[in-house]
Each structure stands twice: as C-alpha cells, then as structure tokens.
Structure 1
Amino acid sequence: SELTDSEKEEIAVFNNNWEEATKVWQKVMDAGIQLVSGSDASWQYYKLGGTSFQDEIHAHVSIGMSPMEAIQSGTIYSAKSCWVEDQVGSLEVGKVASIISVEGKPEKNITDLRNVKSVIHRGRVHKLLN
C-alpha cells in the first residue's frame, strides 16, 4: 500500500531528528560523558514494552559505542547513574538481577541481543516460545 503524504512527512521528520540526535550524542561521547540506556524515555518515538530498550542499545552502537559498551549502558552504567549499583546492574552475590540467555555473542554482534532464548526472573527460568 502507498504511504499517505502525512506518513511520508512523518518519516522525513523522524529521519531528520535521528540525524540531529546522532550528531548530538556523538559529541556527548567525544566529550567523555557516559551515556546510559533506560526504558522510561527514548531518542525518538517510544512505545512502552516491546523492543524499545533493545532499540536504544542498538542505537548506541550505531553512534559509535562498542556492543559491550552499549550493553553496559543498560546495565551497570544505568545503575551507577541512579546510585543503585550496590543493588543492581551487574551479576554479583547479593544483587537483584534478571538474566537473559541469548543465542550468539551480543558483546561482539549487538544484533544477537535480539536472539533471546530464556529469561531468569526472580529465580525462575522462563523459556520463550518460538
């Protein structure tokens, strides 16, 4: 189906905003400021739930973070930014954590972060249905 003029305009605005946001975030990183990821807001349009958080992690890689830095932006760096790194943000005895198992090596290839096979939450393993 053909896009309406309104939809085409919305896409153009999104692409322009994305380019501008990318320039800003690259300057922030170049200045040595630590970026963090969070699920309460996003760079662009945001929908609750779904893959928004993963999209933000991927966006960080697209602006120059290594995959591992991007993963840390959503774990330990986010926890540190909220002063709760003693409770969450890394896998350590006594900390609260939800863990995902993925197929692949997301620390090398960030798209593997989408290959979630199971989630451990509150001590229970939840396998995903394919």
Structure 2
Amino acid sequence: MNASFLLPAAALAAAGAFAQQADAPQAAAATAAAFRCGGVGQDDQERIKAEAASHDLLLTFASVSGEYLADIDVEIRTGGRLVLQGRCEGPLMLVDLPADGSYEVRATSAGREQRKTVRIGGQAARAMFTWPGS
C-alpha cells in the first residue's frame, strides 16, 4: 500500500474519533456516574437546558451577581461512597447517577466549597451553586 496515503488516512480517522468523543458524556474517573459540562455561549446553554429532562441532575454554577462560573471541582457521594469526581469547565453540568436516592454534591470554586443534598427519582433534579464575586 502507498505509505504516503496511510499517514493522512490515520490522521483523519483519529480526528473523527476525537470529534465523536467531544460531545459524549465523560465517565468520572473510576466512579459510577457520567457527566457532561458546557454552557459556554447562549446556544450551548439552551441545548444543555433542553437536554436536562433526560438526565438525573442539572447543576448550575454562578456568582451571586448572576455571572456564570467555570472550572468547578465537583464530587458527588451517596452513603459516604464517591460516585462522581470531576472538573466542570463550563457553568452547566448534566449528571447521570447510578440509582435513585439521596446524594451529597460538593462543588468547589477558587478553594471555596459548598455542599447541597439532592434527591434523585422520578424527574430531573436541579441544584444551583452560587459564590461571592472575586
């Protein structure tokens, strides 16, 4: 086979695989939940909010003045067991959890942690985390 053809073909295949993964939910490292973050730009915000009903949980991160925040560290636990740990690079986070029940969500922005308890079951839950301005 022509070697000059193989390199461009391999590059195209790799680019296609990367593009498919960009919109796929991320499995939290060694945990039982999956999540997807976004919300940078109006179109992405609208798309994520429209998709929220088909996920267990929508988390929103903002300052008290209403400005969206990103780069939030998130941990979700149930019964003391870690089910999700990850970083959200956008202000909105869609989460799929392993089962219905009560979960503690810890969100940290600029070293300041907040905790909320959410109940999953029946319909999508929502929680908003707000921090004072910097």
Give the TM-score of the pair, scaled to structure 1: 0.28
The structure with the greater share of residues assigned to helix is 1
Give the TM-score of the pair, scaled to structure 2: 0.28
The structure with the greater share of residues assigned to strand is 2
